[in-house]
Structure 1
Amino acid sequence: SVRQKETPLANAVFWAARKGNLALLQLLLNSGRVDVDCKDSYGTSALMVASYSGHYDCARELILQGADINLQRETGSTALFFASQQGHDDIVRLLFEYGASTEFKTKDGGTALSAACQRGHSKVVETLLKNGANIHDQLSDGATPLFLASQEGHVTVIRQLLASGAKVNQPREDAAAPLWMAAQMGHSEVVKVLLLRGADRDADRKDGSTALFKAAHKGHWQVAEELLKFSPCLGLLKNGSTALHAAVLSGSVKTVTLLLRANADATLPNKNNDLPADLTTNERILRILRPQILNGRS
């Protein structure tokens, strides 16, 4: 597409919208010499700028002067997307009042709802859901709003989404489910909420790793503790390893201890025929594993 040449007047409109200078904005728009929908070279409109910056009065003025609410930037973002991403609930509500649509997507499949969920803006999430945002929308990689909120650890938003019918086990394209992602990121409170709402404790990603395996591998013992309450698989996984092997590699004494207490088998070899004890030189971990190995062999 041909890049639009920016004029000094258009630049002044963007500046006023970004700074929240209502008087200047009105002066420029009333001059009749600048289009309310003038855009910068990326297709950004003044309404998008005001919505992103959180300037309610400027956003309202632009709307009353006839700004196109559902205009899309080159990336596909709209004013609603920007207001939602930044958590400006008053502007989100204003945009809906004047006909904003939740249907528009960015080039990577992002929506106003996915942006708000990723940032943890629970008030905005509530407003978007009330106004028809689709809870099952997915990014181009398959990530749902619930997945994004789980990745970032936003417990309140996760509860809202689940209460509104989000699918707790809906995976991304690589088969990673929200629980797997929350476990990898170390969000134990999120893991707890997802498990209580029916998350599949043993769902694995395409590489054969489960939530417990990822938590163990990262040394996230609080996550492992939550998962162990739901009796996940402690045996050999599709990736040819066990959670205990992963915990040993992480060097987390606490995680290794938790797994052994849950009856993880220290004598179970991985696909390379290595025992967990073969994967470390950490004396503290070896001291915990040795009695288990001896007991297992007696």
Structure 2
Amino acid sequence: MRISQEMFQIYNEGIMKKILAAAMLLFSTLLCCQNVFAEKVFVPELIEAVWRNDVPQVELLIKQGANVNAKHQDTVLVEAVRTNRVSPEIVKLLLNAKGIDINKYSTRPMGAYSWSRTPLIAAVEAGNVEAVKLLLAKGAKVNLTDQHVPTVDIVGPNPLNSALMYAAGQGSVELTEMLLNKGADIEQISSNGMTPLMFAVGTVGDEAPAIVKENAVKTAALLLDRGAKVDNCAFSSTIRFMKVDLPKGTPSTVNPNLIVRGGGGTSALMYTAMNGFIEGAKLLLDRGAKIELQIYGNKWTPLMMAVNANKIAMVNYLLDCGANIEAVDTVGSNSLLIASNALFYDIALTLLKRGANVNAFTPTNGANALMNVINFARKDQEKESIRMMNLFIDNGININFQGAQGDTALMYASGWGVVTKNPERARILLDKGAKVNLQNKKGETALMMAAYRGHVETAKLLIDRGANLELKDANGRTALMTASAATIDLKSNNGDFPVLVKLLLDKGANINAKDKNNSTALSLATKNGHKKIVAVLTAKGGTTDASEKKDESGKAIVGIWEGMQNSNPYDLHRFTFKSDNTWAYEIKATPMLLKQFPKSQHKVVIDSYKDRAKQQGDKGTYSFREQWLILKTNSFFSPERVFGWKVEKGKLNLNGTEFILSKVSK
């Protein structure tokens, strides 16, 4: 069956890390406050004069030789241009001063990094047209970007946005034209992969004031007139590491010629689609934007992005413009399936009215829209889930469709994917003709799903509608055995397993049926320590079988295993499993990662990996519960971790990550 404790543990780890991070931030803030009160912060006299907008004093100080490049976080010149409150006369005085550096970066501390910008960028951000004119006349460099500089500067500054990007993002035709006339790079790419054209139309939402939309369109039109590429999907950076020496244990799926990309892969039209900016989309399409262009990665089209953002007006507009309603992404999902994942009723209704195929399904997991609205619904979305179920059923969806693994919507509604005990979704499907005894590729039925979750009312409904209590799954187990084994936490899964076991027995389930290991319901309940279920089964005459086979599959895990999660070549994970049921875990920085740092920083990086392993739990004991590997850890954050596991062809698979046996341990 299926389990989600591992994801739950990861979630808990994330919460605890955030709490610790918040505590550390508070502590560092208090220290900073102590420093503020301990000593007076020095501010250059020239900057104070600029703050006061005192033209005569600024002129006097410059004549007296004041440092015109002085800093108090921002430079004197940035302080003069970053708002519209300072007189242009002060800006002129500074620009004409001997030794002025008109491109000098300011440095404004912001926690873990400093924000640095040039006077030109500061002036454009402020919409200070007069200051921009003066700076450009003096030869300010137009293609510099502002930067994030790490407090501990190991990898150097991270370039962000140019002056032209800020001008375009403000919808300022005047500033945009001024910068273009001075040679601003019209295709320059920001850290998140945006060009000036994307800034012009990609930051405007459907609820923006009309004047904002109008200015955005005018600015974008200017950029296009001046040669901006309408379908540019470039990345902010592309770094290729050639001939990398991969460490021992690297899976064959890791390419030694690694390409690391920055942000990007999105077109201007895609930004307008996800923001619902129809006027911007119209301009781009009129100028030749490709309506079926797909984003790098998941291959979503503008229509899919509009669907995912719940922008119904944009969805209709793109369809009116000829968008392909059945286009699919990398996993084979189309717009209707994306809408069903998000439980967007109005979007789904619109797509169906416009001709979407209600029976489309995602090939990789075999789920159709009906399954999605059951599987992805949160506890507070039950009514919306039922509403969308009825929508798809009324539009002719195949209720008994079986996905890639043979699962049906009824199986989803009976247990898998259902976070409440309410049997209403299963009842709707049965009323509409769902077949109660279909089995998936593992031999599981809807009743077994309900048994696995401990959903008593759903199980009762299924039995009343003809569910066969004696059908067996691929392991030879019936619904009674499934409920008795209860491989999930009995208290936290919203189920009542002892009551369910009694129900199945009262309805005639064979109490002493055996699985492929000759295990009975009683032996499974005993093995998993479920005392209340054992009591119910014993009272009803349950027995164990002396011929029950001992499961020795766990011996295959003994050894030292190394691998890389998600083919990440920077982290080497090592698990050691011993025959005495103890385990240890290490995570190490690979040589590839260490090469990115100066040797003086290697110890810091190595120690951080050790701390990371300790946080997750780096040793403990292990046991097996059905197909699950249970790791008891020494970590406060993750006292228990649960993995799906198997050993095959000399490789250990833990939740999809492959580890290679590097050494046999005892």
TM bin, normalised by shorter chain, reads 0.7 to 0.9
User: 1 CA distance for matches of 2:269 and 2:284?
Assistant: 6
1:269 to 2:439 alignment: yes
- The percent identity for this pair of structures is 24
Task: Kindly provide the amino acid, as one letter, of the partner of residue 410 in structure 2.
Answer: L
Task: Report the Cα offset of residue 162 of structure 1.
Answer: 0.7
Q: How does 1:63-142 map to 2 (within 5 A)?
A: 63-73=180-190, 76-87=193-204, 89=213, 90-97=215-222, 98-99=225-226, 100-107=228-235, 108-140=264-296, 141-142=298-299
Match of 2:132 in 1: 25
User: 1 CA distance for matches of 2:175 and 2:456?
Assistant: 64
Task: Report the Cα offset of residue 254 of structure 1.
Answer: 4.1
Task: Report the Cα offset of residue 66 of structure 1.
Answer: 4.8
SS in 2 for 1:8: coil
User: 1 CA distance for matches of 2:463 and 2:424?
Assistant: 16
Deviation per CA, 1:188-222: give whole Å up to 9, x if none: 11111112222222222222111211112123223
User: 2 CA distance for matches of 1:85 and 1:258?
Assistant: 43
The structure whose Rg is larger is: 2
Match of 2:456 in 1: 283
Task: Report the Cα offset of residue 287 of structure 1.
Answer: 4.4
Q: Which moved more, 1:148-157 or 1:245-254?
A: 245-254
Unaligned ranges ≥5, structure 1 = 1-5
User: 1 CA distance for matches of 2:307 and 2:387?
Assistant: 16
1:237 to 2:403 alignment: yes
Count of residues in Structure 1 that have an aligned counterpart in Structure 2: 290
Identify which of 340, 348, 364 aligns with 1:183: 340
1:153–1:217: structure 2 CA closer, same or farther, 3 Å change rule?
same
Higher relative contact order (CA 8 A, sep 6+): 1
The structure with the greater share of residues assigned to strand is: 2
SS in 2 for 1:231: coil
User: 1 CA distance for matches of 2:201 and 2:386?
Assistant: 34
Q: Which moved more, 1:61-70 or 1:19-28?
A: 61-70
Match of 1:51 in 2: 168
Taking structure 2 as the reference length, the TM-score comes to: 0.41
Identify which of 102, 105, 110 aligns with 1:8: 105
Identify which of 322, 327, 330 aligns with 1:170: 327
User: 2 CA distance for matches of 1:181 and 1:241?
Assistant: 19
Match of 1:3 in 2: none
SS in 2 for 1:44: strand
1:53–1:247: structure 2 CA closer, same or farther, 3 Å change rule?
farther
Match of 2:142 in 1: 36
Task: Kindly provide the amino acid, as one letter, of the partner of residue 176 in structure 2.
Answer: A
User: 1 CA distance for matches of 2:414 and 2:134?
Assistant: 67
Unaligned ranges ≥5, structure 2 = 1-102, 107-116, 148-158, 205-211, 236-263, 378-384, 469-666
User: 2 CA distance for matches of 1:129 and 1:253?
Assistant: 48
User: 2 CA distance for matches of 1:19 and 1:284?
Assistant: 63
Task: Kindly provide the amino acid, as one letter, of the partner of residue 324 in structure 2.
Answer: K
Q: CA RMSD in A?
A: 2.6
Match of 1:211 in 2: 369
Match of 1:148 in 2: 305
1:290–1:54: structure 2 CA closer, same or farther, 3 Å change rule?
farther
User: 1 CA distance for matches of 2:135 and 2:370?
Assistant: 59
The structure with the greater share of residues assigned to helix is: 1
User: 1 CA distance for matches of 2:288 and 2:340?
Assistant: 30
- Contact kept, 8 Å, 2:124 with 2:167, in 1: the verdict is yes
Match of 1:201 in 2: 358
